[in-house]
Structure 1
Amino acid sequence: MTRNKPFIPVYPALSRTYPSDFKVDEQYRASLPDLQNGPASLIVGARKVIQHVGISHFRLPIRYRRQDGGEIMLETSVTGTVSLDADRKGINMSRIMRSFYAHAEKQFSLGVLAAAVSDYKDHLDSFDARLQMRLSYPIQVESLRSGLSGWQYYDIAMELIDQGGQRLKVMHFDYVYSSTCPCSLELSEHARESRSQLATPHSQRSIARISAVMEGEEKLWFEDMVALCRRAVATETQVMVKREDEQAFAELNAANPIFVEDAVRAFAHELELEPRVGDFRVIASHQESLHSHDAVSLLTEGPTFAQVSLDPMTFAGLRA
């Protein structure tokens, strides 16, 4: 009887020590496999054009110019994408980062953003490209009556879209405010007048996200957008508050009660008056203290932001 010999695997004699002194030369680099630039036969699934492929949320410090002439360095989250032809396997995503880093030391401007988009569009041989930079921009604001001041932070995204040979510049701006319900205010006053019953109207922290296409050569500063929002809805949340400020804020809310429908129309009115703004979209969410749900509204002007279907996170993504 013949017994089968046990299988004994043979392992190659590979080094298990990291070669910290190994240097890459051009010949070695040329020998490295590059699957993303491989033939179309390597494509998995349907051979379709991909509208956006790239990287999201890579962070680096960027210098921004202030309206008063100063500048500030802020952590910035960058998303960069390009289109991909149906017969191409993929892209070299590190080229997006390398293209952006080539301009990262410059003071931010839309011109720098445009140059970065042009570079990685050329490097990746794509017909469309998009670059978005997200940041939190601080502005010092004074209290209503006490003379104190503090830093208010505004979540902003700057987006440059290169599509079909046309370029679009968009600012996305979040504005946080207090909304006092006009109906609740009237009901509270009715209780006081008719029954001498103390009652308070409900109000809540609310947020509007304004997306605006920037037009013309004149710069639309972040500070300009803050001023525009304050003209539309005066009840911006406060930073530094003493008792006299809290009383003033109660008076300010009583003077400016607002439904969510009123809010988007008020922002739209100010945006229509601004010559540096073209198409726009306003999304507002009043995160109700009365209800266990939010009151929301969306208003668009022009074809840029018009849409039939809404992303399921359109309103859920607005948290004040």
Structure 2
Amino acid sequence: MNLHTPEIDRKPSEEEARAALELLRRYTSKAQDAEIEALDPALGALVPGASAYPELSRDYPEGFDADADYKATLPDLQNGPSALIRGENRAIQHVGISNFRLPIHYHTRDNGDLMLETSVTGTVSLEADKKGINMSRIMRSFYRHAEKTFSFEVIEAALDDYKSDLESFDARIQMRFSFPMKVESLRSGLSGYQYYDIALELVETAGVRRKIMHLDYVYSSTCPCSLELSEHARRERGQLATPHSQRSVARISVELAEGDCLWFEDVIDMCRAAVPTETQVMVKREDEQAFAELNAANPIFVEDAARLFAERLQAEPRVGDFRVLASHQESLHSHDAVSVLTEGETFASESLDPRLFSSLFHVG
């Protein structure tokens, strides 16, 4: 039998209720979630900053159908009025998505076909009075053409689509991939695959379209000064000495001129003709000796490298404007030797990306 005193049965006053509420708020502001849950889950509503949302379902609705009527109710902030713009109401030159990947078919110079994983970046211009873009449309536009074998004509069709879908004036597509090419060793007769980092760009600005290819060429550079000093030590003092050489990277960027196709393999051949000391894939002792002889026959400063590549590019009618970036990652120094040579307005720039040369790094 329970006995209640009149005090317990009495309805608390509003002042007492407010005092109790304040006490509970102080408690929940300092208590752990587990303590609050153990006392009474309803107290969670008193935690500072707690949402007033009702209890929601935690089960994924497998059978839910987002029909047209439902989709029409979904908020779309990016296509909202210009009043929603935050910050300065300015045009943006490039906005889009970077590094969405998919397999793309490429045709080779010897009439073969390769499917290569390709990283795609797609951007468009955004007018000052527009809040934003629907970025998924860039992917959807590109996917409509992704099954076709690559050509700049196919990419131009994709560019046209997403310019239309996003109602933009300027646009850009960049595709990056690693292109395999079988190369023979110098003397042993072995062969293996060399991989070349390539990027293709289609850029439209103010109604003018440019087609651009970037290719990284990895080679060995033997220092001419170090070679002469080593020979001096041998000749004058009978002292064995070796010149320093290092893995080096040139990024060749070319604007493609109208006319015949410039194949990836063509650019690689030009690089090899300019600087023949390309790093090797399959090597036996006779190949290693041959490579030492090849380096001794072609000692090269970073200035020489830029000019030798430029000489080949300048003579090629399928190449318009171009740029050569070279980085000799010195074994003598704790810093690199670098050079930049440009031809034409496409790649001319007074300022360089602070991380530009650090991107010229070949991961074996």
Alignment TM-score > 0.5, same fold: yes
Aligned to 2:9: none
Larger radius of gyration: 2
Give 1:266's match in structure 2, choosing from 299, 308, 328. 308
1:153 is aligned to 2:228: no
Give 2:60's match in structure 1, choosing from 8, 18, 21. 18
1:63 is aligned to 2:105: yes
Give 2:280's match in structure 1, choosing from 208, 233, 238. 238
Aligned residues: 320
Aligned partners of 2:269 and 2:209: how far apart in 1? 27
The one-letter amino acid of 2:338's match is V
1:105 is aligned to 2:147: yes
Larger deviation: 11-20 or 172-181?
11-20
The C-alpha deviation readout for 1:269-288, integer Å capped at 9, x for no partner, is 00001101000010000000
Aligned to 1:79: 121
Larger deviation: 54-63 or 23-32?
23-32
Q: CA deviation at 1:13?
A: 4.4
Instruction: Give identity over the alignment, percent.
Output: 69
Aligned to 1:222: 264
Aligned partners of 1:282 and 1:223: how far apart in 2? 17
1:92 is aligned to 2:134: yes
Q: Which structure 1 residue ranges, 5 or more long, are not aligned?
A: none
1:144 is aligned to 2:181: no
1:287 is aligned to 2:325: no
Give 1:180's match in structure 2, choosing from 207, 222, 233. 222
Q: CA deviation at 1:14?
A: 2.7
1:189 is aligned to 2:231: yes
Aligned to 2:247: 205
Q: 1:196 to 1:129 in 2, by over 3 A?
A: same
Q: CA deviation at 1:148?
A: 0.1
Aligned partners of 2:81 and 2:227: how far apart in 1? 67
Aligned partners of 2:340 and 2:87: how far apart in 1? 37
SS at match of 1:197: coil
The one-letter amino acid of 1:222's match is F
Aligned to 1:45: 87
Q: 1:12 to 1:294 in 2, by over 3 A?
A: same
Aligned to 2:6: none
Aligned to 2:347: 305
Aligned to 2:294: 252
Aligned partners of 2:55 and 2:185: how far apart in 1? 71
Aligned partners of 1:11 and 1:287: how far apart in 2? 59
Aligned partners of 1:276 and 1:119: how far apart in 2? 28
Aligned to 1:34: 76
The C-alpha deviation readout for 1:143-188, integer Å capped at 9, x for no partner, is 0000000000000000000110010000000000000000000011
Q: CA deviation at 1:11?
A: 4.5
Q: CA deviation at 1:15?
A: 2.0
Q: CA deviation at 1:217?
A: 2.5
Q: CA deviation at 1:12?
A: 2.1
Q: Higher helix proportion, which one?
A: 2
1:120 is aligned to 2:154: no
Aligned partners of 2:191 and 2:53: how far apart in 1? 69
SS at match of 1:316: helix
The one-letter amino acid of 1:96's match is I
The one-letter amino acid of 1:72's match is L
Aligned partners of 1:182 and 1:128: how far apart in 2? 47
Aligned partners of 1:106 and 1:20: how far apart in 2? 35
Q: 1:25 to 1:197 in 2, by over 3 A?
A: same
Aligned partners of 1:296 and 1:93: how far apart in 2? 37
Q: Which structure 2 residue ranges, 5 or more long, are not aligned?
A: 1-12, 26-41, 46-51
Aligned partners of 2:57 and 2:113: how far apart in 1? 51
The one-letter amino acid of 1:44's match is R
The one-letter amino acid of 2:115's match is M
The one-letter amino acid of 2:266's match is D
1:167 is aligned to 2:209: yes
SS at match of 1:29: helix
The one-letter amino acid of 2:84's match is L
